[in-house]
Structure 1
Amino acid sequence: MIVTFDAELWLWEARRNESWTFVSLPAEASEDIREITAGLERGFGSLRVRARIGVSTWKTSIFPDSKRGSYVLPIKRAIRTAQSLEPGDTTSVEVELIDL
């Protein structure tokens, strides 16, 4: 399953000083992912993905966020730097579930 969407980068409130930056997957796509992956989650409900922003591709995990009602994707500093992104910027994101 591949999900492509535009999203705004945001900082996780509990770790603002450590610059944990995320994007939220769309609610509808998150619901589809929950249905497809029921029982396949790893620690903290995480799911392994391959992500792409611009020319940067990396493997990571998405995590359920009960506050937002969707999965969230961490955007590591190296990716933000390579793509010249800061919290508050909107970017196109591609997420592919792996290990299905």
Structure 2
Amino acid sequence: MTLEFSGDIWCWRGPAPHHFVTVPEHESAELKALSRLVTYGWGMIPVRVQLGSTVWPTSLFEKDGHYIVPLRASVRQAEGVAEGDTVTLRMELRQGR
């Protein structure tokens, strides 16, 4: 399964801040339907994400009924994006770890 969507970069400012993009409702529902087939625990879904020319493996997890995509600092730096920017992500499901 491959998904492409756009979303805003937001920051969770906990003890260890992280940046994310929220997967839209329709795509989150599609992922939820497949999650039991690919999750490796705690509902985490392994994916391969592309932002611009940067591709990296990561895992999605659920927050408030939607999945969220973590954006590494190295990805944000390589693509010149920051909190508040709208980005387009392309994702492919991977098999569990």
SS at structure 1 position matched to 2:26: helix
Partners of 2:35 and 2:60 in 1: CA distance: 12
Give the corresponding residue for 1:97: 93
Structure 2 unaligned segments of length 5 or more: list them.
none
1:26 to 21, 24, 27: 24
Unaligned runs of 5+ in 1: none
SS in 2 for 1:86: coil
Cα RMSD (Å): 1.6
Q: How many residues align?
A: 96
Task: Measure, in 1, the Cα distance between the counterparts of 2:66 and 2:91.
Answer: 14
Given the two structures, how large is their TM-score scaled by the length of structure 1? 0.87
Identify which of 56, 60, 71 aligns with 1:62: 60
2:69 is matched with which residue? 73
Residue 35, structure 1, aligned to residue 33, structure 2: yes
AA partner of residue 74 (structure 1): P
TM-superposition CA deviations, 1:12-39 (whole Å, max 9, x none): 14x2x63300001111111111112225
Which is richer in strand?
A: 2
- Identity, in percent, stands at 28
Deviation for aligned residue 1:48: 0.6
1:40-51 paired onto structure 2 within 5 Å: 40-51=38-49
